[in-house]
Each structure stands twice: as C-alpha cells, then as structure tokens.
Structure 1
C-alpha cells in the first residue's frame, strides 16, 4: 500500500467514525499532514480522491469541509407518507441487503474489508444500545458503499433515516441486550468472512440470517422472503 493509499484509508475511516460531522471543516492541511505523519503532497492526493468520491468539498480560501449528503428523492418522499415502521424497514432490508452483501463479495476491496472489520470490533466494545445502534448503522452503510452501486447506497440511507426516528429506537432499546449484541457481532463477522472469501452466495446467506435474527427479536416475525418472491400475509402480520 502506498503512502497515498494509506493516508486515504485513514481519512476514510475517520469520516466513517464521524470524527468530523457533515459540513464541518477539516483541520488545515499543514496540521492534518503533521497529525498523519505524511507530506502535504500525499495528503493533497488523498483529499483529491475523497473529493472525487463526493465525501468532502474544498473551497479556495475557506478550507476543506465534510460533504453534506444531498437529500435523495426517496428520503424526501418519506416525509409525504405515513412514517414507515420497524417492520417496513426490516422487510426492505431483507429484500436488498443480501444482494448488497453478494455485490461486496465480488467488488469490495481489501481496504473495504478492513474498514468493515474495524467497525465490527468497535461495535463489539459498545457499552450501550445507542452506541451499538450508531456503529451498526455505520457498518451497514459502509457495506452498501462497498457495493459500488449508488442507487443501493441511497435506498439503504432511507432505512437509516427511519432508524434515527423514535419508534425504531424505542423498540431497539427494549430488545437489544448483551447476549444479542454478541450474537449480532458474530453474525457480522461471519458475513465479512464470507466477503473476504469472495463467496457471494455465502455473504448473501449470512446477511439474510443476520437480518432474520434482528427481525425475530424486534417484531417476533421469523418469516424470511427472497428478493425475487412476493410477500404474503403469512410473511407479514397485518393488524
């Protein structure tokens, strides 16, 4: 790995961790280069790649800022309809996230896998459900980004919008306990292990098993349906 690649990986992990909030200005180049122990030329190349990815914005005379993600049309639409609940979120995730996992097994880089593993271990050390939920959300978002499909990434972001709402948080806090946290962590590890083996079917199956466990814990519904099948009333309880 070159100095530029290593610098880029460190900066991406810092952005993933939320070290700088959207819209926040990064430290000056001189300060950031000294902090990372690299030359300003290498830092500028890494920043140029982040700008190309749309993760930062650089303004002459003002500095470098973390990009504020534009609100997608899908997210905006959510405000015009009755707010989806946790069961809706889980149905959507069961449809798309196994496919995302399979794509990452085919397209993910060594750096992607390293970042996913780092997020897993941070989650394993989380001391409360809020910290876990934040890291879990970031893990799944990073997974979507590693699929290299911006549409899938955008759709998954809609689930994160809902996960930041009260109903999901209340249900999550009442169902997440240390035993489940350990189980979910092991499921995440199994998923990334399959990705690292480039086992696309295995990655999809691992994701499906993980989401089935989450669904069962949060809604009491253990039914799973494939992306290609049509949901039925047996697969979703209708009040």
Structure 2
C-alpha cells in the first residue's frame, strides 16, 4: 500500500510501483482533498488531525479485505501509517517510512528543521498566495537543482490541489507533533532517509530510528525530500531488500 505525501497524489509512485506489481497486490489511493479524490467527502472535523487520515487508511484496508499489509508512506504519510498501525496493529506486517518527520518544529534538543515562526510564515504565505508558495517551495522540497523538471512536476502537483484543501492539510501536516506516538508503534519499520533533505533532515530520521526499536535506518546517497521521484532505483532496491 503506497501513500503519497503532502500536495501529491498516487501518480508520484509511478517509478517505483512497477517493480512490485508482479509479486504483490498493490494498492494506490489519493487522500481526501488530493488528486482525484471526492472533495465532497472532506470533513474539517474528521481531518483536523492526522488520525482522520489514518482512519481512512484503515477503512481502505478493511474495504479491500487486506491483511499483513506493507505500508509505504512518503513524508507525512509515514506518521499517518504509524498511527494506523498503532490503532490496528494486526493489519500491518511492516512499514516503510520515506523522509518521516514526527514534528517539523525545533523543540529544545529536538531538531525538526524549522522554527515555529518559520512554519507560521510558510503557512501564511500559502494562505495568501498558493501559486507563489508552490513556486518557491517545490525546488526546496525536491532538491536536485540540476534536474529542474522534477521541481516543475512537484510545483504543478501543488498548484492543481484545491487551495482550501491544500491550506488545511498543510496546517495539519506542519503543525502536527507525533513524537509521543512513536513509542506505541511496534510494527517492523524501515526508515529511508536522504543524506540531504531540507524538509526532514538527517537528525529527524535518526530520532525516529532511536524511538522505534523494531526499525532499520538506511541513509541513501540521495538529495531532496522525494527520492521516489529523484532516485527511484535505490528506493525500490531498499524496499525490496527489507520486505
């Protein structure tokens, strides 16, 4: 089960999924408010925290009659998958977290990568200028400045997301703090961390690894926050070796 990150949709997995289709049943989906999802299903109360999105993951698994799921989550989906596995551990055999972050905001000894004022400024800009925010943030998130077509694709994905839903999901994502939840996760976990990531720095991946005794951390020789797009080969190899 592949779960996309903020501002993206299931199409972002297109370079990874073909390597698994012959041996596994593959499930792709769009979160409510993303991609081709039914926007009328959006409920501000349900999705006021990541637990609402985790509940959707569980509902999809139950609807399809799945068990022993390998959940592969990018960015915020790493924490969504963790919350789902904490709630219903018997459904999940293992989790792969790509660029996870339980909290994006620095707090004492914890280095999340951003000051609170930085996050508040980013959210305010998103509220006031969705297109401008997308154009500014896509190259930062993607990295790999020598391949501008990747940042252009991410920017287009951001821009096609309905602004109201983009603003809501951004607040839920970047203001969430799931550090206390990590100790409740006992599912076997692989953490894939890029050596250079402006959104989830190495210190965050190491923190998640320390909090999860059943985890394995792989630091890839890759740049940016979306290695499944920029370095799909190493991502695929790492997932296959893990599962």
TM-score, normalised relative to structure 1: 0.29
Structure with the higher strand share, 1 or 2:
2
Structure with the higher helix share, 1 or 2:
1
